């Protein structure tokens, strides 16, 4: 059933009542979450290199409890209460008004410009191990860009064919990525000959700076639990499958991160391998021979593809939702007549990514995580406000423990965000530590005013969910035809 539209004064454009096509089952949702958050242990190497073996492992163990689990609990409550297309945008808009709803959507979209550009770059980096012409330093820049460009548009086309195809491919990609790390773990168990926690702290660093050095990296590897909320309208029985998928993927991702890294450090310590991108390939060669190193490198390519496809799907729904509300041109909210996918929005996101891979944006992980953290804090604010303003609304999943439960769930992410920012500022100064992220976040209010002035007045629409609609469970959207 399609819900009604709350419209501003003025003549609204003609719209067609139509829900987005495709319903994703539990397996597909788990696959998409896996690649929205993880995609395998690739990227964790710098946590070990920056913090030290023992502290790096400790961060991998603790971060799911103080970062992932609280975020997942928040997402499960809001996502089952309001399983709507656009997810966190509508949670914040309903609880705090259109300004803050726009901010969380805009910040997440800005974050996606960096994140989406990382994966084609990583793809070419891993491919350079087989094709030296793609090497970032010694290869051909145009060939390198061409490979990244082809990857972007190939999987943009796949996205346009429907969310189910991305969900099914994510399940297959997940199996391919995990399999070689299972082999590394099994083979490595018979070659463990050192303490994996030694040295506990990286040489030359005290505990605090060492923790700060790896914290942003491990946070980046554990973030993205809320990304699937933007496609809630495409999930089969979202109130049932959404929390189930979160409950499955949190321990799964933690184990896939922890066991291979623990065993690898017990075989090859920080003094034998440079723990940065590519360390797992070196470990795989040591425990299983050259063939296993090649397999790990090939699955790194698959991981980059899966990450890009999943992030493109979830983040392409952000401009779609903003266009629904009249902050972007109405054609961006149009759906493909056969597949029911937001084809214009996907095209725009792929075009932005094609530009961003030209720059060294893979170095902006700190800015990326900080802006994401600002948006995440708004989502936690929405959790509190919805509990206080609308305690009677049905919550198929509610965070246990009443207000104390909410305090604990909110406290730990706030602490880890504050700690990461503190040590980053301490290490590189306030401008490099937080200045660029604050500048990026400041584009949100500017965009709200500018885009509102250009598009909002002429659109005359405000597709807002009313409390009555939430009570009746009317979550399918009326979208531009």
The CA distance from 162 to 338, in Å, is 9
Nearest residue to 352 via CA among 130, 189, 115 = 115
Residue 235 dihedral angles phi and psi, to the nearest 5° = -100, 135
| Whether the Cβ atoms of residue 339 and residue 21 lie closer than 8 Å to each other | yes
For residue 478, the model assigns a pLDDT of: 40
For residue 459, the model assigns a pLDDT of: 47
Nearest residue to 333 via CA among 13, 109, 101 = 13
The answer to whether residue 187 scores a pLDDT higher than 90 is yes
Please check whether residue 4 lies inside any domain of the structure.
Answer: no
**Confidence bin at 6 (pLDDT 50/70/90):** very low
Average pLDDT over every residue of 304-312: 92
Please check whether residue 5 lies inside any domain of the structure.
Answer: no
Average pLDDT over every residue of 373-385: 95
For residue 70, the model assigns a pLDDT of: 94
Average pLDDT over every residue of 140-144: 92
The CA distance from 359 to 293, in Å, is 29
| Whether the Cβ atoms of residue 316 and residue 346 lie closer than 8 Å to each other | yes
- Lowest average pLDDT, out of 60-74, 103-117, 347-361, 415-429, goes to 415-429
- Lowest average pLDDT, out of 17-26, 133-142, 290-299, 410-419, goes to 17-26
Domain CATH code at residue 325: 1.20.1740.10
Cis amide bond preceding 199, omega within 30: yes
The answer to whether residue 4 scores a pLDDT higher than 50 is no
Q: Is 363 exposed, middle or buried (0-12, 13-18, 19+ CB in 10 A)?
A: exposed
By three-state DSSP, how is residue 476 classified? strand
Please check whether residue 134 lies inside any domain of the structure.
Answer: yes
3-state helix, strand, coil in the chain (%, to 5): 70, 0, 25
The CA distance from 16 to 185, in Å, is 53
The string over 219-242, giving b where at least 16 C-beta atoms fall within 10 Å of a residue's C-beta and e elsewhere, is bbbbbbbbbbbbbbbbbeebbebb
Percent of the chain with pLDDT over 70: 89
**Confidence bin at 364 (pLDDT 50/70/90):** low
Helix or strand (DSSP H, E) at 17 = strand 16-17
For residue 302, the model assigns a pLDDT of: 94
The answer to whether residue 65 scores a pLDDT higher than 70 is yes
**Confidence bin at 197 (pLDDT 50/70/90):** very high
The CA distance from 26 to 101, in Å, is 28
For residue 147, the model assigns a pLDDT of: 95
| Whether the Cβ atoms of residue 49 and residue 191 lie closer than 8 Å to each other | no
**Confidence bin at 16 (pLDDT 50/70/90):** very low
For residue 2, the model assigns a pLDDT of: 33
The CA distance from 71 to 324, in Å, is 27
The CA distance from 305 to 400, in Å, is 37
* DSSP annotation string for 253-316: HHHHHHHHHHHHHHHS-TTTS--STTHHHHHHHHHH-HHHHHHHHHHHHHHHHHHHHHHHHHHT
Measured from the Cβ of residue 6, the count of other Cβ atoms closer than 10 Å reads 12
Please check whether residue 21 lies inside any domain of the structure.
Answer: yes
For residue 477, the model assigns a pLDDT of: 47
Question: What tokens does 444 get?
Answer: 């949100």
More confident residue, 430 or 315: 315
More confident residue, 24 or 179: 179
- Lowest average pLDDT, out of 112-126, 178-192, 415-429, goes to 415-429
**Confidence bin at 255 (pLDDT 50/70/90):** very high
By three-state DSSP, how is residue 111 classified? helix
The CA distance from 212 to 424, in Å, is 7
Please check whether residue 78 lies inside any domain of the structure.
Answer: yes
Please check whether residue 6 lies inside any domain of the structure.
Answer: no
- Lowest average pLDDT, out of 201-205, 352-356, 359-363, goes to 359-363
Query: Tens digit of pLDDT for each residue in 20-63?
Result: 445 788 888 899 899 989 888 988 888 998 899 999 999 999 99
Question: What tokens does 53 get?
Answer: 């073996």
Per the structure, the count of domains in the chain is 1
By three-state DSSP, how is residue 461 classified? strand
The answer to whether residue 379 scores a pLDDT higher than 90 is yes
The CA distance from 1 to 24, in Å, is 18
Beta bridge partners of residue 2, listed in sequence order? 476
Helix or strand (DSSP H, E) at 16 = strand 16-17
The answer to whether residue 468 scores a pLDDT higher than 80 is no
Count of all residues that appear for the chain in the document: 481
Average pLDDT over every residue of 175-195: 93
Measured from the Cβ of residue 10, the count of other Cβ atoms closer than 10 Å reads 10
Please check whether residue 2 lies inside any domain of the structure.
Answer: no
| Whether the Cβ atoms of residue 420 and residue 219 lie closer than 8 Å to each other | yes
Query: Which domain covers residue 379, as residue numbers?
Result: 16-479
Please check whether residue 194 lies inside any domain of the structure.
Answer: yes
Global pTM reads: 0.85
Cα torsion 376, 414, 246, 77: sign:
negative
| Whether the Cβ atoms of residue 90 and residue 321 lie closer than 8 Å to each other | yes
The CA distance from 321 to 164, in Å, is 20
The answer to whether residue 411 scores a pLDDT higher than 80 is yes
**Confidence bin at 19 (pLDDT 50/70/90):** very low
The answer to whether residue 335 scores a pLDDT higher than 60 is yes
Nearest residue to 156 via CA among 339, 332, 348 = 348
């Amino acid at each position: 059933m399609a819900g009604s539209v709350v419209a501003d004064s003025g003549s609204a454009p003609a719209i067609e009542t139509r829900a987005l096509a495709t319903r994703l089952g539990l397996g597909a949702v788990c696959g998409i979450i896996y690649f929205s958050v993880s995609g395998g242990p690739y990227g964790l190497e710098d946590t070990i290199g920056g913090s030290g073996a023992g502290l790096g492992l400790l961060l991998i163990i603790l971060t799911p409890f103080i970062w992932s689990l609280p975020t997942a609990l928040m997402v499960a409550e809001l996502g089952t209460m309001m399983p709507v297309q656009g997810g966190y945008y509508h949670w914040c808009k309903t609880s705090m008004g259109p300004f803050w709803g726009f901010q969380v959507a805009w910040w997440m979209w800005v974050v996606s410009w960096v994140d989406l550009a990382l994966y084609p770059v990583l793809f070419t980096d891993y491919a350079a191990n087989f094709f030296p012409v793609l090497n970032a330093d010694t290869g051909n820049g145009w060939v390198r860009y061409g490979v990244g460009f082809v990857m972007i548009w190939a999987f943009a086309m796949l996205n346009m064919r429907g969310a189910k195809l991305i969900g099914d491919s994510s399940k297959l990609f997940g199996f391919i990525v995990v399999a070689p790390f299972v082999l590394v773990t099994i083979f490595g168990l018979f070659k463990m000959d050192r303490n994996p926690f030694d040295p506990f702290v990286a040489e030359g660093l005290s505990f605090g700076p060492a923790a700060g050095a790896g914290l942003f990296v491990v946070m980046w590897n554990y973030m993205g639990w809320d990304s699937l909320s933007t496609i809630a309208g495409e999930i089969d029985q979202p109130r049932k499958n959404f929390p189930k998928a979160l409950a499955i993927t949190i321990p799964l991702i933690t184990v896939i991160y922890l066991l291979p890294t623990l065993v690898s450090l017990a075989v090859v310590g920080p003094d034998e391998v440079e723990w940065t991108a590519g360390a797992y390939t070196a470990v795989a060669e040591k425990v299983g021979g050259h063939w296993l190193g090649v397999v790990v490198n090939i699955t790194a390519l698959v991981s980059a593809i899966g990450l890009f496809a999943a992030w493109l799907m979830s983040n392409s729904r952000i401009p779609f939702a903003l266009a629904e509300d009249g902050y972007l041109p109405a054609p961006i909210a149009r759906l493909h007549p056969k597949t029911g996918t937001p084809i214009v929005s996907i095209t725009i996101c792929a075009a932005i990514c094609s530009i961003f891979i030209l720059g060294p944006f893979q170095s902006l992980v700190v800015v990326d995580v900080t802006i994401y953290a600002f948006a995440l804090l708004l989502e936690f604010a929405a959790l509190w406000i919805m509990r206080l303003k609308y305690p009677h609304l049905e919550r198929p999943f509610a965070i246990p423990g009443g207000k104390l439960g909410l305090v604990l769930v909110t406290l730990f992410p706030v602490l880890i965000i504050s700690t990461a920012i503190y040590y980053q500022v301490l290490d590189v100064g306030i401008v490099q530590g937080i200045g660029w992220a604050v500048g990026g976040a400041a584009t949100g209010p500017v965009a709200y005013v500018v885009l509102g002035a250009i598009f909002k007045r002429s659109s005359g629409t405000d597709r807002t969910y009313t409390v009555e609609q939430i009570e009746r469970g009317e979550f399918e959207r009326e979208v531009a035809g």
